[in-house]
Structure 1
């Protein structure tokens, strides 16, 4: 039996157009990132209907981000195992040069620069998060006087030296990681991209002298720099590598490119980085950092207010990555960072909004929002990751930013008043506050941000008037349906349908027959050209190739749902059988053209009541199949559900038999 993760993964793949529509797939801390052949094939409403999906965000003209939260890796691993995905993913990775050219053609240069930064840092995020928590442990040890966090390693106990090595491994060799991921994003060889900054971290290069000194290499002056923890030099070197490789591949025969392209690339790019690109990259990082440092020096209030008010708009667009690079740059050059403290105000205002949503969802018994908000809150409070909250809640409802920004402002002012600085690069969660100085002022600031936004949501809600009314109406219908189901199971109706035993379907051992709701030819459900139906994922039943133009109720019951577009209707028969009648495949895209809805939700109907009129020829002319699946949605409640294919199906003809579970199966715990 497939797991919930596998079912959701297959649902996602199906609703984005299948494996053939995926040119590449990657993932970050919370999001599946698809690059699609044709994004018009995506059914966003169907994706959003899955409670495991926290949000769907379009990126550029072919990109699609599906927000899954902290378990995103499990969904990624399940999707790439699906038929067709292994080859597509491999092609996407292998043809990274083609992907780069396509992206450059689709985005303007500004958008691509930010996308380049985002996709470069994204794979390193996991290592950075792990290292930040190790740093927090050591800062706590410093706070309690067990060791001096900034003492020379020669003065540290051996155990703490090992702990320091754990986090420094990530930050010291960060240029190597960035060189690899940046080169891969651009379409250059990622291992050559890693080797270029690695050369500047070797004992041989470091033995040339201390940072700031000038040495002469074959008579050419070389200014030495400390490249550990730097991010801009490897980024610029990767760009240079892309153009060098591109030029070399034009002049070197393909048969020997594997040998001579990397040879000449290293021979050209390592000296170019040491003499020119590396110092230029350090200058860029220092320049941006110096500007922000100057602004912070003019008034910490200004910076502390601007940062948390900007972040809610930067993160959805992926524009926050340059600031993350500056944070790392600040730690490397100044020994502290002045951005992370104010950033915490934005994070905790965001988590405060979600906490308020969680409170309201418990009060309203809204299971869907309760799951989304609880997952976002846990990822935020303990991981410092805001994307599940942002995409699962904030970007979905009208009033959230009105509740969010006051928390950002209040928290930013307080953190600015205390002039909070970070002593290490960490993710701003509850676990990492010891890295802030003064951490007491930081805690006051993030608490103020959190509770300001939370209380605004609790007292004034997070939805617009229309949004709230729609959600409450949906919840009321769900509760009514649950009550109806309970009443049916407790006291089943005595009215059977069809020519069976005349007993209700839920009575143990009873066999009930469902008759055709539309004239036409009945065919096996497995023949339908849509895996959602043919696989039985939605339930068992039959398909009808219609010759008539009207769908009628096959028995007495109540309308559970009817699509405004008219392409589908769901009803609960009085004997407890839930039916879905879906007119055509992908006909939702017709926007209601060719359909006339004759009933409304919660309406009582009798056998033969017309439900929907449709124009089958118009469906076919629009390029869609008119085949109409008739599905027993609650198939699992019965022992068997079997379709009865027949050459011709008319009103009153038998099309499905439903056998209730035996008495012992019904009463078993």
Structure 2
């Protein structure tokens, strides 16, 4: 179902701002509006998916959809204008819920810090991903012997390959400028001022200062100190650094707010950028830059010391920690350390174990996809296919994580076992390194130094998680029932099953009579007549004992006007509703107020127990079947407490409706007065 009908419905009832609340029952959307006078009734009813619309008292409004109501409801709730009314299943809601569980949910400042960190990197992930594939290509060429080790000291490549090698360097060398721009913008400073400040320490002229006479080499030869106006200036190669621009942007954001308070608005355009650069360029060069470099190096060395002490422990801990760090957004600092490791050490040791997590995540998604195909779950099949493609080809775990895994909690334990298996294999093999920052996908396998070990580890992680998910499933019984209901509804909508004489419950007659005369002269004439009486394809029995109520007298205009379907009502005298024939349960509302059946005769039947009883939210109902169940005539569907329903002020009249009447010639009431369970109630005739 496209989202356009959903948007059209919202527009025709006065827009999202006119909606106070929205729920749905088995056949209709139930709106609570601020002002029902703003509804364009004709526009609502002209929408193709709408069967009818009924204004109600108290600014309530019902839009009748029929069997597709849940799909339309979901489309409406997915509209950006309705985001605040989400059911908690959107990616934004899932992210927020997960963050609330961790330290970010308890400390606002911490949450803000990680949001700034993620917003500084998120816009450039595409560029990083593209550049990482160039690095992978160079690594593959070196592995195949086409070119020498392109990143080894002293190696000179052919000019053609030098040019190819430059294709990734533009992103990583100037990464500090990109981070400075994004972080400054996020913190309310002029992003181009932040860009310009960081650019100063990346100029060739800045690096040349460190090569002047009298400069002292420090930091293992990676930096030098020179006196500038009597103050020591530490000159680093800031290429690929991320901590200095982040710290610079933090100070710049605070300084910008201060300057805007002090400087008159009429001259802010000139003096805020000027004073910001006057203060921040020296501060960044002399203090913030070195602090960022040393601080990042300290974090990197701490993790390296753990890896040096026990590569096995490190390789196991990283993939087991990532499934919990990513939902909380705590993985961003590790991404920064990976970049720093490559810049300072020449290699990174975190990405290999991280690959075990990623591929366990993708394997769990593959397991879900397998089950979705087997169970004909169209929606999950599409979700899992997209998430798996993003993972295997792009190394991106978020579509799998937020789109599937965090919604179905049974997946996590199986995925963690995959993480453990992959991590153990990498640990036993002594760890895996890479000289490039890459997204761990199938395409970037050649970027790692021990390709066989890494390949075995990620394959083991992938297939372990996938097999465990397939064997144990990923849904709770309730979730399985919801999927079965949707699949059954899809099958019923697409079914063009022809009713046959074998399905006839109460055939009447069909006759054809022909006569003819002829002469022996070789000429003849013939006359024939045929009379066809309507053939009753099915007789639907009453699902509940009670008094028959003509459809026009059912106390709900949605039903009485035949908008949902044709049939009759029954005012029950007993408290159990039964299946009137053999078939499949397509819809079984958890509230017990409505059931959709696809009978073997091809009749699609709606049994709606009472009027507006959905508002009881299941109180007084005891549901006996679930969507997807096979039922026979006389199978109990639900029992209800008459007193609960009547005390709540709702009518017990139960519409029994054929919801696909266009497939048949006629749908007629077959009884009046009192009927018992199974007594003929509706006749369905062929066209």
Q: Tell me whether the two structures share a fold, i.e. TM-score over 0.5.
A: yes
The aligned residue for residue 168 of structure 2 is 167
Change (3 A) 1:19 1:280: farther
Checking the alignment, whether the CA contact within 8 Å between 2:485 and 2:586 is kept in structure 1 is no
Count of residues in Structure 1 that have an aligned counterpart in Structure 2: 548
Change (3 A) 1:380 1:10: farther
Provide, for residues 59-93 of structure 1, a one-character-per-residue CA deviation record: whole Å limited to 9, x for no partner: 16999xxxxxxxxxxxxxxxxxxxxxxxxxxxxxx
The aligned residue for residue 318 of structure 1 is 329
**Structure whose alpha-carbon radius of gyration is higher:** 2
The aligned residue for residue 475 of structure 1 is 484
Q: Does 1:435 align with 2:447?
A: yes
Distance in 2 of aligned mates of 1:292 and 1:617: 67
The aligned residue for residue 370 of structure 1 is 381
The aligned residue for residue 143 of structure 2 is 143
Q: 2:463 aligns with which of 440, 445, 451?
A: 451
Distance in 2 of aligned mates of 1:358 and 1:631: 36
Q: Bigger CA drift: 479-488 or 213-222? A: 479-488
Change (3 A) 1:410 1:541: closer
Checking the alignment, whether the CA contact within 8 Å between 2:296 and 2:340 is kept in structure 1 is yes
User: 1:262-281 residue pairs with structure 2 within 5 A?
Assistant: 262-281=273-292
Checking the alignment, whether the CA contact within 8 Å between 1:353 and 1:457 is kept in structure 2 is yes
Distance in 2 of aligned mates of 1:523 and 1:472: 27
Change (3 A) 1:309 1:20: farther
Q: CA deviation at 1:448?
A: 2.1
Change (3 A) 1:468 1:562: closer
Checking the alignment, whether the CA contact within 8 Å between 2:206 and 2:235 is kept in structure 1 is no
Distance in 2 of aligned mates of 1:502 and 1:121: 71
The aligned residue for residue 85 of structure 2 is 41
Checking the alignment, whether the CA contact within 8 Å between 1:232 and 1:281 is kept in structure 2 is yes
User: 1:526-541 residue pairs with structure 2 within 5 A?
Assistant: none
Provide, for residues 268-322 of structure 1, a one-character-per-residue CA deviation record: whole Å limited to 9, x for no partner: 1122111111111111110100001111111111111110111111112111111
Q: Does 1:564 align with 2:590?
A: yes
Q: Bigger CA drift: 391-400 or 283-292? A: 391-400
The aligned residue for residue 96 of structure 2 is 59
Q: Bigger CA drift: 377-386 or 146-155? A: 146-155
Distance in 1 of aligned mates of 2:649 and 2:338: 57
Provide, for residues 218-249 of structure 1, a one-character-per-residue CA deviation record: whole Å limited to 9, x for no partner: 33321111111111111111110111011011
Distance in 2 of aligned mates of 1:204 and 1:486: 74
Provide, for residues 313-354 of structure 1, a one-character-per-residue CA deviation record: whole Å limited to 9, x for no partner: 111211111111110110111110000011111112222223
The aligned residue for residue 26 of structure 1 is none
Checking the alignment, whether the CA contact within 8 Å between 1:403 and 1:462 is kept in structure 2 is no
The aligned residue for residue 411 of structure 1 is 422
Structure 2 SS opposite 1:228: coil
Q: CA deviation at 1:541?
A: 7.0
Checking the alignment, whether the CA contact within 8 Å between 2:625 and 2:638 is kept in structure 1 is no
The aligned residue for residue 126 of structure 1 is 126
Distance in 1 of aligned mates of 2:194 and 2:155: 33
Q: Bigger CA drift: 404-413 or 564-573? A: 564-573
Distance in 2 of aligned mates of 1:343 and 1:400: 19
Checking the alignment, whether the CA contact within 8 Å between 2:95 and 2:327 is kept in structure 1 is no
Checking the alignment, whether the CA contact within 8 Å between 1:580 and 1:632 is kept in structure 2 is no
Q: Does 1:237 align with 2:245?
A: no
The aligned residue for residue 259 of structure 1 is 270
Q: 2:407 aligns with which of 384, 396, 409?
A: 396
Structure 1 SS opposite 2:129: helix
Distance in 2 of aligned mates of 1:114 and 1:138: 33
TM-score where L is the length of structure 1: 0.66
Distance in 1 of aligned mates of 2:11 and 2:120: 25
Checking the alignment, whether the CA contact within 8 Å between 2:485 and 2:587 is kept in structure 1 is no
Change (3 A) 1:60 1:598: closer
Q: CA deviation at 1:133?
A: 0.7
Checking the alignment, whether the CA contact within 8 Å between 1:305 and 1:413 is kept in structure 2 is yes
Checking the alignment, whether the CA contact within 8 Å between 1:308 and 1:409 is kept in structure 2 is yes
The aligned residue for residue 108 of structure 1 is 108
Provide, for residues 341-394 of structure 1, a one-character-per-residue CA deviation record: whole Å limited to 9, x for no partner: 111111122222233333344444444443333333222221111222223333
Checking the alignment, whether the CA contact within 8 Å between 1:60 and 1:107 is kept in structure 2 is no
The aligned residue for residue 294 of structure 1 is 305
Provide, for residues 380-411 of structure 1, a one-character-per-residue CA deviation record: whole Å limited to 9, x for no partner: 22111122222333323343233222222222
The aligned residue for residue 188 of structure 1 is 189
Change (3 A) 1:634 1:240: farther
Q: CA deviation at 1:461?
A: 1.4
Distance in 2 of aligned mates of 1:167 and 1:476: 50
Distance in 2 of aligned mates of 1:450 and 1:228: 35
Q: Does 1:348 align with 2:359?
A: yes
Checking the alignment, whether the CA contact within 8 Å between 1:232 and 1:282 is kept in structure 2 is yes
